[in-house]
Structure 1
Amino acid sequence: MKTYGHFSKMIPLFVFLLITVFSIDLSAQYLPEEPVSIDVDFNNTIGDMDPVWAFWGHDEPNYTYMKDGQKLLTELAELSPVPVYMRVHSLLVTGEGTYALKWGSTNAYTEDANGNPVYDWTIIDKIFDSYIERGMKPMAQIGFMPKALSSRPEPYRHYWKPGARYEEIYTGWAYPPNDYEKWAELVYQWVKHSVDRYGKEEVESWYWEVWNEPNIGYWQGTLEEYIKLYDYSADAVKRALPTAKIGGPETTGPGWDKAADYLRKFLDHVSHGKNYATGETGSPLDFITFHAKGNPKVVDGMVQMNMGAQLNDISKGFEIVASYPEFKDLPIIIGESDPEGCAACSEADYPHNAYRNGTMYSSYTAASFARKYALADHFDVNFRGAVTWGFEFEDQPWYAGFRDMATNGVDKPVLNVFRMFGMMQGKRVSVSGNMAYDFESVRDESVRKEVPDVNAIAAVGEHSATVMIWNYHDNNNLDVAPALVELTLENLPNTKVLMQHYRVDQEHSNSYTYWKSIGSPQQPTTEEIAALERADQLELYTSPEWVTPDNEMKLSIELPRQAVSLLRFTW
């Protein structure tokens, strides 16, 4: 039986009754669709349940050590059984730690009146200390260009705001260096300082990567100039710490022909090109990175996602890497992996971003990560991680529609899907049934058929088994019938197990629904904020229950559109 958990305790009784009546009316008006059968065999393992989701990133590095940034970092660290990696832009940008949307600075490099380098690691240390003290790790991005090293320093600082032309951000920080030797020395000194501060063993576990999206405006140089930058950077990293991990090229959109060509030319160079820094053949490469984005639009007044576009980027990137025998087994990190391309673009200025506050973002996340695993299996590549480019935006309006995990310190529903993933450990196991979509159909057609994508991913560990089920569709229409899922679980232990059922939907694990129920305040009271913080946590859908599967267990679950359930069995 459905339970409302703590949610009903947080809202006024009349609001709760209205929600309940509305739910009853919906169930009377819309009968469930044809049942979806999902069969899970916990004896049939298909691969590791690697925590590829335990990577996050954002444009604004200085948010890291601010009030809400510190709170969210702690929550990200606590939801993961393994160290979380953090990737941020602008770690070498000139400025006194000033921040704004799509801007940040550390002042790590300046020059004196005679042109001699002046290094100041204070702000970078503050950022990395925030990670290390929580057991997190940097995915250290070598960029962007300090003003004193930029070949075109003016204008340097941008003042972009949502609604402005995106190209306005590409100022002096995006240009090649005026002196590659000075650039290399900066990189060398940064890595050396990191080893001195955190120790060799710790820094060996980091990922060092060169720049961001050099195939578009983030790099105002040529492909050859980027390759030269990579060679000098990689050589400097390895001189400071030969066992450090260096990678790239962090290109975006391998699904585009030009982007695919850029990635191939980079891989060709590091394989057998002449190294600009050393004159030798090839360049160090310890992991490969590229980006993948979806493409939502507003169609007939409704947000329509395009998961297929994102999966096509991933598929093409995996295919390209798999075509190089010398690189096929290298770790792949999708350096940004999101439903679209601009985290700092708000809903008010970009209506297609209206998916971000509610359950559409959470169901999209569940469905897309499952297909990333499937694509990696298909191409037999070493998929190490996918960076969710969404953190938080300090001192912005409540639920402004940025792509973030929390708003003003309150978690959004999407973060609870990552809490679910954090409980899925061990080996992935086979999932079969009469589902309408597989990874290839979502990649090639997205989710546009009349029937939704009702599917699952499952895992088994030494003393636990988990099944995540979602009801996703590209069209954000919630006023439709729920899906009836007939779940068959095979080869659970023939003993008593504890079953827990977690849910993210309109009524559970959803601070946004609660915020709207109290009038969408932009200045909530202390009591309202406390209630929002209770509503933002992952919630049980039913009470925990001891069950005896006898090797096979059958369950019927009603799953609303854009909802996600996690069944967890422990023994």
Structure 2
Amino acid sequence: MKNQEKIGLSIGSATGENVRNIGSFGINSCHAALWLREDLPRHFRRLREELGMRYVRCHGIFNDQLEAVAPDGSFHFEKPLTVLERILDNGQIPFLELSGMPGALARTEESVCHYRFRSAPPRDWRRWEELVEQFLHVLIERFSREELCRWYFEVWNEPDLPFWTGTQEEYFKLYDLSRAAIKRQDSRFRVGGPATSKTAWIADFCRHVSAPSPEDPSPGCRCDFVSTHAYPSDIAFLDGAEGEVRLQSADLLPRLLTRVRQTMKLLPEPVPLFLGEWNSSAGPLAFNHDECANAAFIVKTMAELRSVCTGSLFWNGSDIYEECGFHSAPFHGGYGLLNVNGIPKASFHAFRFLRAVSGEELSAVWSRPAKCLGALAAREQKTVRLLLWNYLDPEKENETFEIRIDGLKSGAVCEQVMPENGSAYESWLRQGAPEFASVAELSQLESASHPRRFRYSADAGISLAPGEIALLTFELPEMIEP
């Protein structure tokens, strides 16, 4: 067995700023109709209570399953309203993606995904505008203008991919008609886009919304936020369960989003930037979503994007998910923080640890360079929380480190996410990867989903293997040597 690399970490003085946690801003679910189930709202309630996830985004509020537009073209919003009420009942707020072309309005029969997300532009553009306008009327009546001022309205999903079969010019027309219909109801309502994959179209979108258009002739900046998506893998989208996925380094995301932030200088005024979808890969049914190492990917990404993005919405909150059809195996490569049985994955704990590190940020300096290692520390009154990660880079060799915290006495409480301790996926593999787990097997997986808890030893430090994360909690000044 290879010896562990020894490395020290010094926790220093306050930086003068509070830690920004963009990870708790929001979370995605699959398509809106799944909110009519009883289990999905329960999953998202837990994400709100334990991870602080405030906003919820989902595809297809106008999909045919929700019957917003009847075959005769009349509008009926009972089921979309039920979806939104369930989100609000959880104490969460809609990040409302206006998408899914109703069959009665669609120009063609084209669709993607198992649940048939209709991707065609409307036959009659005026009818789309009327749909959005009447929907806003109903939302105001049901929820109030002041409530809707808390929401974000996003026009469509990934129009650069098969989710939209029109042209870029037609997407901009859809955006303009939607924005104009919303702003006519209340100029305070926040509208944005383009919700593209791999940060595509940002420059074109910024130029487009910087000047009036025939469909939306209002002056000034015609977007209240910019949203886009990024996944560090070699594909942007797969419409199905097949396809090999090659992971790329997490360093791709800060590069892409920093470039987006620079491009946004084309706008007449600064607006928020939201990373509206992201995960360690875009490919469906990829086991990197289930593995322990996804935790280190998440904390590294969120720590590095804190100064770039206003908020993030991770894809996805739950494995109750249907883009490729529903899968009932406890682990099947689903994107969720919770598996279909509601068992937390390592990724769940990553967001929990990130939320815990709050208050005044403290400097954290390694004794020597180690690019795979990261640390984030913060103080609330006398309590210090220190988040450590050892990122498993798919493009490089990785090492296990023995980390000593300079001056820290023994006794600090430590939680560590590692295979079979905070990451149940590896326990499922050891069970033989059963597709239908028994009650006893599910109980074992639930137990394995809890991180290892122990007391930090100044003599031994903490051993962190590639892909693992740890959260240390201690009190000042008694836990620090003078």
| TM-score exceeds 0.5 | yes
The DSSP-based 3-state class of the residue aligned with 2:358 is: coil
Aligned mates of 1:523, 1:215 — CA distance in 2: 38
Give, in angstroms, the shift of residue 92 of structure 1. Answer: 0.7
Q: What does residue 87 of structure 1 align with?
A: 57
Q: Is the 8 A contact 1:293 1:313 kept in 2?
A: no
Q: Is the 8 A contact 2:22 2:312 kept in 1?
A: no
The DSSP-based 3-state class of the residue aligned with 2:169 is: helix
Q: What does residue 370 of structure 1 align with?
A: 303
Give, in angstroms, the shift of residue 529 of structure 1. Answer: 2.1
Deviations 1:65-113 (A, max 9, x none): 42442332121011134x521111111122xx3xxxxxxxx1212352x
Q: Is the 8 A contact 1:231 1:283 kept in 2?
A: no
Distance 1:316 1:51, change over 3 A: closer
Q: Which runs of 5+ in 1 are unaligned?
A: 1-28, 98-105, 161-168, 347-352, 377-382, 439-452, 491-495, 546-552
The reply on whether 1:136 has 2:81 as its aligned counterpart is: no
Q: What does residue 541 of structure 1 align with?
A: 453
Q: What does residue 475 of structure 1 align with?
A: 394
Q: Is the 8 A contact 1:57 1:387 kept in 2?
A: yes
Q: What does residue 411 of structure 1 align with?
A: 344
TM-score, with length taken from structure 1? 0.73
Q: What does residue 357 of structure 2 align with?
A: 424
Give, in angstroms, the shift of residue 159 of structure 1. Answer: 4.5
1:116-515 to structure 2, matched below 5 A, reads 117-152=73-108, 154-156=109-111, 159=114, 173-254=118-199, 259=200, 262-272=201-211, 274-282=212-220, 284-295=222-233, 305-321=248-264, 323-324=265-266, 326-328=268-270, 330-342=271-283, 345-346=284-285, 353-374=286-307, 376=308, 383-390=309-316, 391-393=318-320, 394-409=326-341, 410-434=343-367, 436=369, 453-462=372-381, 464-475=383-394, 482-488=400-406, 499-515=412-428
Which letter does structure 1 place at the counterpart of 2:231?
A: K
Deviations 1:201-247 (A, max 9, x none): 22211111101122232222222221111111111112223321111
Q: Is the 8 A contact 1:426 1:459 kept in 2?
A: yes
Q: What does residue 561 of structure 1 align with?
A: 466
Give, in angstroms, the shift of residue 385 of structure 1. Answer: 0.9
Aligned mates of 2:360, 2:310 — CA distance in 1: 15
Q: Is the 8 A contact 1:311 1:372 kept in 2?
A: yes
- Report sequence identity in percent: 21
Aligned mates of 1:554, 1:287 — CA distance in 2: 50
The DSSP-based 3-state class of the residue aligned with 1:542 is: strand
Distance 1:282 1:223, change over 3 A: farther
Deviations 1:369-425 (A, max 9, x none): 111125x2xxxxxx2211111231355222111222222222212111111122122
In structure 1, which of residues 31, 39, 58 is the aligned counterpart of residue 3 of structure 2?
A: 31
Q: What does residue 100 of structure 1 align with?
A: none
The DSSP-based 3-state class of the residue aligned with 1:249 is: strand
Aligned mates of 1:186, 1:407 — CA distance in 2: 35
The DSSP-based 3-state class of the residue aligned with 1:215 is: coil
What is the total number of aligned residue pairs between the two structures? 461
Which letter does structure 2 place at the counterpart of 1:188?
A: E
Q: What does residue 480 of structure 2 align with?
A: none
Structure with the bigger percentage of helix: 1
Range with bigger deviation, 65-74 or 233-242: 65-74
Q: Is the 8 A contact 1:42 1:459 kept in 2?
A: no
Q: What does residue 49 of structure 2 align with?
A: 78
Distance 1:402 1:199, change over 3 A: same
Q: What does residue 380 of structure 1 align with?
A: none
Give, in angstroms, the shift of residue 543 of structure 1. Answer: 4.7
Aligned mates of 1:246, 1:569 — CA distance in 2: 43
Which letter does structure 1 place at the counterpart of 2:12?
A: D
Which letter does structure 2 place at the counterpart of 1:562?
A: G
Distance 1:404 1:177, change over 3 A: same
Give, in angstroms, the shift of residue 52 of structure 1. Answer: 3.4
Q: Which runs of 5+ in 2 are unaligned?
A: 236-243, 321-325, 477-482
TM-score, with length taken from structure 2? 0.86
Aligned mates of 1:32, 1:524 — CA distance in 2: 36
Distance 1:196 1:130, change over 3 A: same
Distance 1:245 1:497, change over 3 A: farther
